[in-house]
Amino acid sequence: MLALAGCAAQPVPGDSVVPGTIGVMVTHAPAGVLVTESRSVGLRAGDVVLRYNGEAISGPRQFYRLVIDSRPGSVARLHVLRDGGQRVVDVPVEQLDTAPRT
């Protein structure tokens, strides 16, 4: 918990960190990340993601950080290379399932 001027900060109702996901697996590519698996509407294996919500992609770690930091229920705008051409794909961000597996 943070303390400001001797007062403990109180949590804001509804203010929690919920990680996002767009349902893809990626690997490094020369100009972004290569989608290796996808269950996401709009993306498919073989796409190269160049930008995520306007930010240039430098590698998988940065890409996954951008995705996880996205708010579930929002839409991510991705610039991708597919079949030799560039296109813009809007992908829904879902809540990452962090429940333990049994």
Domains delineated in the chain: 20-95 (2.30.42.10)
- Looking at residue 16, what is its pLDDT? 54
Q: Give the contacts of 94 (CB within 8 A, at least 6 positions apart).
A: 20, 21, 22, 23, 72
Amino acid at 94: E
Q: Report the alpha-carbon distance of residue 75 to residue 94 in Å, rounded.
A: 9
Per residue in 50-94, pLDDT (tens digit) is 999 999 999 999 999 999 999 999 999 999 999 999 999 999 999
- In Å, the largest CA–CA distance within the chain is 59
Least confidently predicted of 4-8, 46-50, 81-85, 97-101? 4-8
pLDDT band at 11 (very low <50, low <70, confident <90, very high): very low
Q: Model's pTM, two decimal places?
A: 0.78
- Looking at residue 58, what is its pLDDT? 95
Structure token digits, residue 52: 């995520």
Neighbouring-strand partners of residue 8: 3
Q: Is the pLDDT of residue 26 over 80?
A: yes
